[in-house]
Structure 1
Amino acid sequence: MMYLAVFLVLFVLELIYFKIADRYNIIDKPNHRSAHTEITLRGGGIVFPIAFLLFFITSVWGKWVHLPLHDQAVENHNELIFGVGLLLLCAISFLDDLYDLSSKIRIVFHIISVSFLLAFLNAFVLLPIWAIPVLYIVIIGILNAYNFMDGINGITGLYSLVALLSLLYVNENLIKFVAHDFIIYPILGCLVFLFFNFRKKAKCFMGDIGSMGIAFWVVALIGLLMMKTGEIKWILFLAVYGVEVISTILERLKLKENIFEAHRRHLYQLLANEKKISHLQVSTLYAVVQLLVNVVVIFSDLPQVLIFAITLFPIFVLYVYVKFKIKREVED
């Protein structure tokens, strides 16, 4: 009953945001690099920082009145530290949606937000000092990769839902690493967002506030799981996005292009724009492939090195083959 109430609150608040966005012209205008053709409301991903605020409010309230709203799995983790990082990142990302901020301003806030995330994970205490700068680079890279991949209806919402459901399964059936509500609240946020976005004519787009916000939450959960188990294989819950973004960056570097400029070289863009495949079909394909990877990661007893090999190699081969095939067809 509690989760239904949270879902309905998120749904209503999302509708209220639509009214505000419409009034103040917070929209996404298509250009020659866009995969969409119609003006659409931007910033629908505001549902994710709101989901955290609801989580935090119910958590604090539950502790005050001694209700078991949250189990004890995260008693040593300070959700407020996570929340400060999340809200800072979402705030600067929303401002970037509105005003197109300079990259220098964005990176400063990204570093600050990731600092809060690492503090939440207790990484500054548990990990060797050399690992900290590596984590800054990796996490900021993942956040921006999420943003790069959020280009067609449903793709990041559905992809994130697969990651979160996989994490929930691990948490409830294999190893308890976090309070289940800390996973369920962003799941509810994804469901609300997908209701408006996973359709042929989307009511809204996620915006940077959404792609950065949900990426931050997913990375935090994967980080907690990795800290709990001491295994790095859980990063493969982001394997599909990772392979695509890294491969595309290498391709653009080879072509001497500015990797920070908008483009249409991602495979999902080619499938949607060149092959004219439905956005929803492409988004579902990405989610299904990632789900298959997650099943292998969760249920395989193989050494981690082999798990990386049997998941990443087929994804990379499939990516290269399909992309090459599309380019040949376009050239012909």
Structure 2
Amino acid sequence: MNLAPFLAVPLAAGLSAGLIVLLRPLLQRYALARPNARSSHTVPTPQGGGIAIVGAALIVTMLLAAIAGLGRDGPELPVLALAVLLLAGIGAVDDIRPLPASIRLAIQAGAVAAVVTTAQGRLLPDGLVWLEGPAALVAGLWFVNLVNFMDGLDWMTVAEFVPLTAFLAGLGIVGGYAAEPALVAGALLGGLLGFAPFNRPVARLFMGDVGSLPVGLIVAWLLFRLAAEGGLAAALILPLYPVADATLTLLWRLRRGEAIWQAHRSHFYQVATVNGASVPKVVARVFVLQSALAGIALVTLLWPSWPVTLGGLALAAGLVAGLLRQFAAPRRAAQGDGA
């Protein structure tokens, strides 16, 4: 039994919360998020809580990896850490003074490419290995950005990724997932839990790009490692809600001819609040859905047959589609929400 992910959770949670307490006065002074067209808040609120999440996750990962002797066989963990720090840095700058989209995208692509190049494991057979790198780069780049897009509501990122990281950390504890990514999952889970009390509705602190971009990269790497170990279906199921919400929203905005780089409130979870649903109820439904998806992912890992895999994917897609439909329902159809 691998106890490193279990130990990482309380250590990272305590460190994350402590860093937030120390940094919050500075964030209040220098990193206020003012309401805009995309915002769900109405008053200026400090952002940058992602510094604590990412910092705690990295420190605890490196500490416990050194103690357990993990990550010595290659550059995977050091490269991941450097790429995460790079995205955190560009996110911090963008939180204070927005950067051109081209610069952000180029730096993100470099960080994702470094992680893809050094990640252990392969998904495609030898004849198609040439396609894996470009495909992983595009998928990773999109995932980094969609996590940023989905971080537009109090507790939303917590609701999406606490079940996912808890599942992966738990899987690693019982030996069903490689030790290094399991440790990273536990450390990220702890960082999110330490941040959660400060982000609960109505939030006193936002994550900011300094957190959402590197969190997206870490989770993308965790899912790649899971897929490379034979859990492709589980890796597709676990993040299905944020992937579906962000991707469908992007496609529909493109179809309507909107400038997709501009702030908006078109995501399904945002539409739900516009239609009258309360923030706590929206994020609670996402949390329940993500927990259910973790359960379905577990079934596909325990019984890795084609019928179970296809059934799990279909059930997961149906649950996600059902929630998206609820969120998109007009107010008169959503009055039973109690909001």
TM, length-normalised to structure 1: 0.87
Consecutive unaligned residues of structure 1, counting only runs of 5 or more, are 63-68
Alignment pair present for 1:219 and 2:217: no
Alignment pair present for 1:189 and 2:191: yes
The change in CA–CA distance for 1:328 and 1:32 in structure 2 (over 3 A counts) is farther
Q: How big is each residue's C-alpha offset from its partner over 1:18-54, in whole Å with a ceiling of 9 and x where there is no partner?
A: 121123x311111344211111101111123312431
TM alignment of 1:159-198, pairs within 5 A? 159-173=160-174, 175-179=176-180, 180-198=182-200
More off after superposition, 142-151 vs 250-259: 250-259
User: Is residue 90–residue 104 contact of structure 2 (8 Å, CA) maintained in 1?
Assistant: yes
More off after superposition, 222-231 vs 150-159: 222-231
User: Is residue 196–residue 204 contact of structure 1 (8 Å, CA) maintained in 2?
Assistant: yes
Q: Which residue in the other structure is 1:13 paired with?
A: 19
In 1, distance between residues paired with 2:256 and 2:225?
38
User: Is residue 48–residue 209 contact of structure 2 (8 Å, CA) maintained in 1?
Assistant: yes
Q: CA deviation at 1:55?
A: 2.6
Q: Which residue in the other structure is 2:63 paired with?
A: 58
Q: Which residue in the other structure is 2:298 paired with?
A: 298
Alignment pair present for 1:37 and 2:53: no
User: Is residue 146–residue 211 contact of structure 1 (8 Å, CA) maintained in 2?
Assistant: yes
Q: Which residue in the other structure is 2:144 paired with?
A: 143
Q: Which residue in the other structure is 2:159 paired with?
A: 158
**3-state SS of 1:176 partner:** coil
User: Is residue 14–residue 47 contact of structure 1 (8 Å, CA) maintained in 2?
Assistant: yes
In 1, distance between residues paired with 2:8 and 2:312?
38
Counterpart AA for 1:130:
L
Counterpart AA for 1:22:
Q
Q: Which residue in the other structure is 1:83 paired with?
A: 81
Identity of aligned residues (%): 22
Q: Which residue in the other structure is 1:274 paired with?
A: 275
User: Is residue 178–residue 224 contact of structure 1 (8 Å, CA) maintained in 2?
Assistant: no
User: Is residue 61–residue 184 contact of structure 2 (8 Å, CA) maintained in 1?
Assistant: no
In 2, distance between residues paired with 1:245 and 1:137?
15
User: Is residue 87–residue 108 contact of structure 2 (8 Å, CA) maintained in 1?
Assistant: yes
User: Is residue 234–residue 298 contact of structure 2 (8 Å, CA) maintained in 1?
Assistant: no
Q: CA deviation at 1:231?
A: 2.7
In 2, distance between residues paired with 1:327 and 1:140?
38
Counterpart among 20, 23, 28 of residue 22 in structure 1? 28
Q: How big is each residue's C-alpha offset from its partner over 1:248-271, in whole Å with a ceiling of 9 and x where there is no partner?
A: 122212222122211111121122
In 1, distance between residues paired with 2:189 and 2:159?
10
Q: How big is each residue's C-alpha offset from its partner over 1:218-266, in whole Å with a ceiling of 9 and x where there is no partner?
A: 1111111111226343121100011111221222122221222111111
More off after superposition, 249-258 vs 100-109: 249-258
Q: Which residue in the other structure is 1:65 paired with?
A: none
Counterpart AA for 1:12:
G
Counterpart among 48, 52, 65 of residue 47 in structure 1? 52
More off after superposition, 225-234 vs 107-116: 225-234
User: Is residue 51–residue 210 contact of structure 2 (8 Å, CA) maintained in 1?
Assistant: yes
Counterpart AA for 1:228:
E
Q: Which residue in the other structure is 1:66 paired with?
A: none
The change in CA–CA distance for 1:253 and 1:171 in structure 2 (over 3 A counts) is same
**3-state SS of 2:140 partner:** helix
Q: How big is each residue's C-alpha offset from its partner over 1:257-286, in whole Å with a ceiling of 9 and x where there is no partner?
A: 1222111111211222231x2212211111
Q: CA deviation at 1:329?
A: 8.0
Q: Which residue in the other structure is 1:262 paired with?
A: 263
User: Is residue 27–residue 40 contact of structure 1 (8 Å, CA) maintained in 2?
Assistant: yes
User: Is residue 8–residue 190 contact of structure 2 (8 Å, CA) maintained in 1?
Assistant: no
Q: CA deviation at 1:5?
A: 4.8
**3-state SS of 1:130 partner:** helix
The change in CA–CA distance for 1:132 and 1:6 in structure 2 (over 3 A counts) is closer
TM alignment of 1:278-289, pairs within 5 A? 278-289=278-289
Counterpart AA for 2:68:
H
Q: Which residue in the other structure is 1:97 paired with?
A: 95
